[in-house]
Amino acid sequence: MQRGLLGIEGMERADIELVLETAFHMKEVGQRDVKKVPTLRGRSIINLFFEPSTRTRTSFEIAGKRLSADVINFSSSASSLSKSESILDTAKTLDAMDPDAVVVRHQVAGVPKRIADELAAPVINAGDGAHEHPTQALLDLMTVVEEKGRVDGLCVAIIGDIAHSRVARSNIHGFLTMGAEVRVAGPPTMIPARVEALGVKAARSLREALDGADVVMALRIQGERLSGAAFPSIREYAATFGLDRAKLRFAQDDAIVMHPGPVNRGVELSHDLADRRPSVILDQVRNGVALRMAVLYLQAGRRARAQEPR
């Protein structure tokens, strides 16, 4: 297993499988009466969130606590520009605290990597700009494995704002590495340049993307883009790329619907689709904790073991 988790791009299939396998074990732990195990007792994990994200931070925090690690939260909405403290200063300060793992979320792509370059501890990327959100993709893979029993050979359609989505990028790399076919569709203004270079097919319409899909993933339209110039109106977006049961008929009969949350109801997904099967959104959230336990165990636990006297 590679040290740190900065992205799914370049991650070996065997490593993804190891994480998923470990995550399923962790999920069993979460189903016990006593949900806590002593695996990471005495280890410290720093959650360094430059961008507010209650959901992801809480998920990492619960995961760390269930493993008995000390979890320290640093939140800062200010960028290093306004604090006049460089990213590398921040990284060096953290390093001095000697954590066993550092979880980083930042609104700009590349920041977790720059921090990782300076740190002795492994860095787990909890989302960087429009680049990657690897734990989200891994928990999505976990959910698909649960639902479908496999990823290999499946057809996955990712719908929406591909250009600004780290969830899309990580999932594209993840599904492709695990042997699925991936198509993307969205308003042309939200499809990034040369997207095919990532190995996906750019569908010309929602219908073409959904045709025969086993997994349909709707992406969240970020709040600041709801009023942006990338599409004419919410109403038009909902009509062209919003999913409802009628449009879902183009996909496989047993297709599942995923969304990284939180859902803009009536925009990316119709109300009834957001709440009920075939959507598996709550399973994604549940699996998030188990998956992050697995990642923390594999990253922070390994360093802990390495430090034990032989």
Partner 1 sequence: MARVLIRGGRLLDPAAGRDEAADLLLQDGRVAAVGRGMEAQGAEQVDASGCWVMPGFVDLHAHLREPGQEYKEDIASGGRAAVAGGFTSVACMANTAPVNDDPAVTDYILDRARQDSPARIYPIAAATKGLRGEVMSEMSALVDAGAVAFSDDGKTIMDSGVQRRVLEYSRLVERPVMVHAEDCGLVRGGVVNEGAVSTRLGLPGNPAVAEVVHVARDLMLAELTGAHLHVAHVSTAGAVELLREARARGVHVTAEVTPHHLALSDEAALGYDANTKMAPPLRSAADVAACQQGLADGVLDAIATDHAPHAVHEKEVEFTAAPPGVIGFETALAVVLELVRAGRLTPLQLAAALSSNPARILQLEAGRLARGDPGDVTLVDPERRWRYDPAKGHSKSRNSPWAGREFTGRVVVTLVAGELVFHADRGVLHP
Residue list 125-154, contact with partner 1 (CB under 8 A)? 128-132
Q: Which is nearer to partner 1, 175 or 250 (CB)?
A: 175
In degrees rounded to 5, what are phi and psi of residue 268?
-75, -35
CB-based contact 156:178 (threshold 8 Å) = no
Report DSSP letters for 93-123, one per residue.
HHHHT--SEEEEEESSTTHHHHHHHH-SS-E
Is the previous residue joined to 278 through a cis bond, with omega within 30 degrees of 0? yes
- Applying CB under 8 A, the span of 84-92, 138-146, 174-182, 276-284 interacting with partner 1 comes to 84-92
How long is the chain? 310
Answer whether the bond into residue 122 is a cis peptide, omega within 30°: no
H/E run at residue 88: helix 87-96
Amino acid at 257: V
> Which listed residue (14, 34, 81, 306) binds partner 1 by CB under 8 A?
81
Q: Select from 16, 24, 40 the least CA-distant residue to 287.
A: 24
Whether the Cβ atoms of residue 191 and residue 162 lie closer than 8 Å to each other: yes
Q: Which of 122, 160, 187, 192 binds partner 1 (CB under 8 A)?
A: 192
Q: Report, in Å, the least distance between residue 269 CB and partner 1.
A: 24
Count, residues near partner 1 per rule CB under 8 A: 29
Report the residue from 53, 58, 68, 80 that binds partner 1 according to the rule CB under 8 A: 80
Find, among 270, 286, 292, the residue nearest to 216 by Cα.
270
198 binds partner 1 (CB under 8 A): yes
Asked if residues 60 and 115 have their Cβ atoms less than 8 Å apart, the reply is: no
Residue 53 within binding range of partner 1, rule CB under 8 A: no
User: By C-beta, is 58 or 79 nearer to partner 1?
Assistant: 79
Pick between residue 106 and residue 259 the one whose CB is nearest to partner 1: 106
Q: φ and ψ at 24, to 5 degrees?
A: -65, -35
Of 132 and 147, the one with the shorter C-beta distance to partner 1 is 132
230 touches partner 1 by CB under 8 A: no
The residue type found at 282 is L
Our CB check for partner 1 shows the closer of 81 and 239 to be 81
Question: What are phi and psi for residue 218, nearest 5 degrees?
Answer: -95, 135
Count of alpha carbons within 13 angstroms of residue 192, beta-carbon side:
16
Q: Which is nearer to partner 1, 54 or 84 (CB)?
A: 84
Q: Binding to partner 1 by residue 176, rule CB under 8 A? A: no
Closest separation in Å from C-beta 111 to partner 1: 6
3-state secondary structure of 55: helix
Specify the residue, 77 or 245, whose C-beta has the smaller distance to partner 1.
77
Closer residue to partner 1 in complex, CB, 128/268: 128
Q: Does 10 interact with partner 1 (rule: CB under 8 A)?
A: no
| Shortest distance (Å) from residue 298 CB to partner 1 | 24
Among 8, 23, 45, 87, binds partner 1 (CB under 8 A): 87
Contact residues: partner 1, CB under 8 A: 9, 79-81, 86-89, 106, 108-111, 113-114, 128-132, 163, 166, 169, 192-195, 197-198
